[in-house]
Amino acid sequence: MTIPKIDVPIYDITLPSTGKTIKIRPFVVKEEKLLLMAIESKDNENIIKTTKQVINNCIVSGDLDLEKMPFFDVDYLFIALRAKSIGENIETSYVCNNLVDGIKCGGVFDAVIDISNCVIEKKDDITMDINISGKISIKMKYPSYSIMKMITGNESNFQKKIRIISSCIDRITNGDKTYSSKDYSKEEMVEFIEGLTSEQYKKLESFVDNLPSFAIESNGTCPKCGFEHKIKYTDFTRFFQ
């Protein structure tokens, strides 16, 4: 006799960018183990690859391309999967940085993060169409998960930002001519950005500084100084604690 296969529950989840509903299943122990191993390896590429692989496994219906989706949809999906698979609450502790008589309090307090409270925060005034000068305007797009997570490591903040900006450019129009970013190499896009004036660059920079991101809010009281902390939680690797 073969061991019975256990049915896993299926959940509906609505994607923040499009409002489209897809069906997911929780990840199973084997997949959780893969994720933990990836996080322990501290190898960013491995973490991204494994996360995407597990998310793909868990999508039961819906035609999704994780490479093309905006990064915050993938974050959101992953957090939803974590909630359905391991649990909605994460217990964590923080060190209180309040100044008490000019000295950091240092008290340790516990907080429970309820990840089912995850929201994607979008700034209202963010525009996808940026006028650069006169007839030249740029149509922006949200960067992918791989790009957002890979841009870490040894690069300076300025270099990172230029790489993110270059991956956010969908097309450039100059009067009646349109240049699609996919027809140009990464180097050509970086060169284009580096050739902008500071004022023009700032318009693009403002787009990436105000990208949507996930946020989970929680509270915790420091037992030492009694301060009620409001915590904003944004670190996805800690979802496995």
Instruction: State how far the alpha carbon of 45 is from the alpha carbons of 1, 69, 109, 155, in Å.
Output: 42, 18, 33, 16
Smallest gap from Cβ 226 to Zn ion, in A, equals: 7
Q: Is 59 exposed, middle or buried (0-12, 13-18, 19+ CB in 10 A)?
A: middle
CB of 105 to Zn ion, least distance (A): 3
Neighbouring residues of 200: CB distance < 8 A, sequence distance ≥ 6: 132, 133
For residue 182 the two structure tokens come to 């996919």
Tell me which residues in 105-164 interact with Zn ion (CB under 5 A).
Answer: 105, 107
Q: Which is nearer to Zn ion, 108 or 128 (CB)?
A: 108
State the Cα–Cα distance between residues 78 and 148, nearest whole angstrom.
15
**CB 227 to Zn ion: min, Å:** 5
The residue among 87 and 223 lying less far from Zn ion, judged by its C-beta, is 223
> Which residues in the 2-41 window bind Zn ion by CB under 5 A?
none
Q: What part of residues 77-106 is at the interface with Zn ion (CB under 5 A)?
A: 96, 98, 105
The count of residues interacting with Zn ion (CB under 5 A) is: 7
- C-alpha distance from residue 216 to each of 60, 91, 139, 146, 233 (Å): 26, 13, 30, 22, 5
We find the least distance from the C-beta atom of residue 225 to Zn ion, in angstroms, to be 3
Pick from 225, 229, 231, 240: which binds Zn ion (CB under 5 A)?
Answer: 225
Residue 221 touches Zn ion, criterion: CB under 5 A: no
**C-alpha torsion 130→133→134→140, nearest 10:** -20
In the bound state with Zn ion, the residue whose beta carbon lies nearer, of 95 and 112, is: 95
203/224 with CB nearer Zn ion:
224
Place of tokens 């989970």: 216
What are the residues binding Zn ion (CB under 5 A)? 96, 98, 105, 107, 222, 224-225
